[in-house]
Amino acid sequence: MLQLSSNYSIIFYSFLFCFTRIIVIYCGETHEQVCKKIFSIFVPFTFIFPFFADFYMIPSQGGCKRLKPPFSPNAISLSFGETLFNIRTDNIMLGLSFIAPVAILVVNSVLVFKVRQILFQRKYT
């Protein structure tokens, strides 16, 4: 459960880091108030969402299995057995693993575009 929860946090905070930079560029003088509002929603969400996404694992048993070559000798795989109501959320993690990098790429592209625009404006004024 801890491993999956930390994966969700890594995904959410990676996006938040990029999104915060774009807020600073676009909101300039008011970015403090905007960041406070976003953080007051986003930070609790990053603690609550992993719990609700992984609550079904509380009664399940987990285990480690050593992976065979071509993996390194110390590589392991974490797995779990029967879950509450036989729920699986692999699709949620798969979706987030696809959507988050795309969203980060879009946010960073917008940021690069805006910074270049600011630099060109300063150069010609």
pLDDT at 95 over 70: yes
CA distance 110 to 105: 9
65: left (phi over 0), alpha (psi -120 to 50) or beta: beta
Work out the percent of the chain whose per-residue pLDDT is above 90: 31
The pLDDT of residue 4: 76
Asked if residue 27 lies in contact with residue 77, where contact means CB atoms within 8 angstroms, the answer is no
Does 81 have pLDDT greater than 80?
no
Contact 5, 51 (CB under 8 A): yes
Can you tell me the distance from the alpha carbon of 79 to that of 74, in angstroms, rounded to the nearest whole number? 16
pLDDT at 33: 92
pLDDT value at residue 104: 94
Q: What is the largest CA-CA distance in the chain?
A: 66
83: pLDDT strictly greater than 80: no
